[in-house]
Amino acid sequence: MNTDRYHQSEELYQRALDVIVGGVNSPARSFKAVGGGAPVFIARAQGAYLWDADGNRYIDYLAAYGPVILGHAHPEMTEAITKAASRGTLYGAPTELEVQLAERVREAIPSMERVRFVNSGTEAVMTAVRLSRAATGRSRIMKFEGCYHGHSDIALVKAGSGPSTLGIADSAGVPTHVAADVVSLPFNNVGALKDALDRWGSEVAAILVEPVVGNMGIVEPKPGFLDEVTRLMHEAGGLVIYDEVITAFRFTYGGAQNILGQSPDITCLGKIVGGGLALGAYGGRRELMDLIAPKGAAYQAGTLAGNPLSVSAGLKALDILRRPGTYEGLEAKAAYLAEGVLRNAREFGHEVQLNRYGSGFTLFFTGTPVRDYTTAQTADTGRFARLFRGLLDRGVHLAPSRFEAWFLTIAHSRQDLDETLEATRQVLSDMRG
């Protein structure tokens, strides 16, 4: 680690530690998982680049954990947001913009027959869970280990050692009775789901699914897995909730469900749909969504929900993404970069797995194919930390965790990718020793 580069970040971190808990406003931003110390403080961003408080430039593959698919400060986005701000940022009353964005979302993801906007992915999932309970009159929730669904109580629970163990919270402060309602299962494992449904099928309100997992690194569903999840859940009388907070508009103009030929009961959105501003959404079949207030008895509200600033950003982002060639271009760039990274890793004798889906990929330092959370955990933490630090010193910015993805944006140029590959080559070569 080249400490001379990061004086200002170090100073800001010391100030931050004194006033912001842990120095960061989201734990994912801390460098705890890559050896600790000051995270890089960002001063500005443009296109594919970030500049830190010391003036160092980085090619950005964090993409703010997914939303920044258009690159930073895209001129059309800046114009749309500025225009919207000049018309007032909050009315507390409905707008045509919300109707337009809801129509766009439904057009792109037809299973979302009725939509409600909220402020974040966390809120979307939290409310989808409430809706599933209102619809079924049941309370138990199933989910998959290693998937992240935001920080509501119910989402922060995983099972102990298998489906026969009751849920154990990953966080202090989650009541035991909430944890006891959650069954956490291995992803890509139909047998484990069947076993769990044999035991709890009559009590289960819904299963939460990231259709392509982004939160243990990128992990694809095995062929037929999602079909079985839906079939078995419906047989048991429960609902299927797709958490497409990362995946929607990342791999195609629509959800991963469009690509995978799935039609969940409820879908949750966040990240890209807000064009980089705070916005989430949930939606599903009309008769289900009719259970939400003011039509139905399941309550959900929000002072800032569907505010004109976020909705204007979302509309403009979808406008840009809808242009022909967008996703083909993203995919081609990701394939080029991922293949180069893999080639470099192999050249220097590193045992790795590379999982790529569309414009996101994860390099795992392990000899074991990664198909679920157990196999993802075989990825070496120390070697990832060395890669992360080495790339940071060479002006390449990744997420500070071995369980995250490299995300491409439309702003990355071929030159950016080649620079990244050269930096990766140097670091992976240094790591041999």
Ligand X SMILES: Cc1ncc(COP(=O)(O)O)c(C=O)c1O
Q: Which residues are catalytic?
A: 148, 243, 271
Shortest Å distance, C-beta 146 to ligand X: 11
Asked if residue 186 binds ligand X (CB under 6 A), the reply is no
- Please report, for the chain, how many H helices and E strands are present, in that order: 14, 16
Backbone region of residue 261 per phi and psi (left: phi > 0; alpha: psi in -120 to 50; beta: other values) = left
Asked if residue 125 binds ligand X (CB under 6 A), the reply is yes
Shortest Å distance, C-beta 270 to ligand X: 4
Asked if residue 60 binds ligand X (CB under 6 A), the reply is no
Q: Which tokens in the block code for residue 409?
A: 């944006």
User: SS3 of 104, please?
Assistant: helix
Stretch that binds ligand X, among 94-102, 148-156, 227-235, 285-293 (CB under 6 A): 148-156
b/e per residue, 34-69, with b = 16+ CB within 10 A?
beeebbbbbeebebbbbebbbebebbbbbbbbbbbb
- Spacing of C-alpha 281 from chain mean position: 14
Stretch that binds ligand X, among 99-107, 161-169, 207-215, 405-413 (CB under 6 A): 207-215
Stretch that binds ligand X, among 118-126, 174-182, 329-337, 355-363 (CB under 6 A): 118-126
Asked if residue 148 binds ligand X (CB under 6 A), the reply is yes
Nearest to 44 by CA among 16, 24, 72: 72
Of 9 and 355, the one with the shorter C-beta distance to ligand X is 355
Of 215 and 230, the one with the shorter C-beta distance to ligand X is 215
Q: Please pick, from the candidates 47, 167, 214, 283, the single residue that binds ligand X as defined by CB under 6 A.
A: 214
Angstrom distance (rounded) from CA 6 to CA 2: 8
Nearest to 233 by CA among 143, 304, 346, 115: 143
Asked if residue 184 binds ligand X (CB under 6 A), the reply is no
Cα separations (Å) of 340 from 81, 345, 421?
Answer: 36, 9, 6
Asked if residue 23 binds ligand X (CB under 6 A), the reply is no
The residues in 271-310 that bind ligand X, with binding defined as CB under 6 A, are 280
Shortest Å distance, C-beta 299 to ligand X: 19
Asked if residue 210 binds ligand X (CB under 6 A), the reply is yes
Stretch that binds ligand X, among 46-54, 114-122, 189-197, 283-291 (CB under 6 A): 114-122
Backbone region of residue 326 per phi and psi (left: phi > 0; alpha: psi in -120 to 50; beta: other values) = alpha
Asked if residue 121 binds ligand X (CB under 6 A), the reply is yes
Of 404 and 416, the one with the shorter C-beta distance to ligand X is 404
Shortest Å distance, C-beta 343 to ligand X: 29
Q: How many residues bind ligand X (CB under 6 A)?
A: 16
As a dihedral over the C-alpha atoms of residue 338, residue 344, residue 349, residue 350, rounded to 10 degrees, the angle is: -40
Stretch that binds ligand X, among 10-18, 121-129, 349-357, 411-419 (CB under 6 A): 121-129
Q: CB count, 10 Å around CB of 164?
A: 11
Asked if residue 372 binds ligand X (CB under 6 A), the reply is no
Q: Which tokens in the block code for residue 393?
A: 């010193």
Q: Which tokens in the block code for residue 383?
A: 């070697």
Binding footprint of ligand X on the chain (CB under 6 A) = 65, 120-122, 125, 148-150, 210, 214-215, 243, 245-246, 270, 280
